[in-house]
Amino acid sequence: MNKLISHILRIEKYIFRERSLPMFENHVLSKIPDGVSFVEVDSQNIDDVREFRGESVLREFRKFYAAGFHGVYAYLEGVVIGHTWMEINETKVPRLSQEGFLLLPGECGGWYAHVDKKCRGKRIVAGMRKRSNVKAKSLGCKKRIGHVLQDNEAALHSSRRSGGIVYETRAIVLKTGFRLIIIYKSDDRWFVFLRLLWFRNAIVIAWSKAYKFSFLLAKL
């Protein structure tokens, strides 16, 4: 019975954090090894990730880049050893992010961070994140939001060390099978996602303290 319920309804519990970009990752990243560099992803270097992550990941990254998202690669001796992506809501209305969370105007959110196993524990993710924050600030973004699963102690600890936290709360996500319905709730925002059968779209009813009610059409 429990397995059946888990197939029908999945519950995810997160810690939601809002950060001030001017305060975020403002300390010296002394653990990063010599020779590691952080470079924005562009049309000239996007394919560099192929050897590290394979063709399927590269196809995803090409979609991200075409959609206007901002990526950063970490290099060691000319080879990609890490990557992360960031999305900025530069519109005047709330929207669902690539991660599937509500992104308010002026906010940015990061996802798809990954580092080679041999290079972990050396603050490389923090270095990539700092580089993406520089890009966000250059585009006028002042807030970065993030969600970490409540039972992921390692990620919570790493996130806490980054600094710049101005707001923290709990968030919960309920998902039905096949993602037909998704319900998200935190203290300052919520949304209901309703997938339209036979279409590659969904209707989203959202609310936030800053923007009140919004009705969105999300592409799947």
In a domain, 178, yes or no: no
In a domain, 207, yes or no: no
Task: Look up residue 32 and give its two tokens.
Answer: 């990063």
Check which CATH number belongs to the domain holding 26 and give it. 3.40.630.30
List the domain range (segments joined by +) for residue 143: 17-170
In a domain, 7, yes or no: no
Domain count, the chain: 1
pLDDT tens-place string over residues 28-48: 455 788 899 999 999 999 999
pLDDT tens-place string over residues 110-123: 999 999 999 988 88
In a domain, 187, yes or no: no
Q: Which residue has the tokens 């041999």?
A: 118
In a domain, 165, yes or no: yes
pTM of the predicted structure, to 2 decimals: 0.89
In a domain, 26, yes or no: yes
In a domain, 175, yes or no: no
In a domain, 39, yes or no: yes
pLDDT tens-place string over residues 139-198: 999 899 999 999 998 888 877 877 788 999 999 999 998 889 999 999 999 999 999 887
Strand boundaries in the chain, DSSP class E: 9-20, 36-40, 70-76, 79-88, 95-96, 102-103, 107-115, 143-149, 165-176, 181-185, 189-195, 201-208, 212-219
pLDDT tens-place string over residues 189-204: 999 999 988 778 899 9
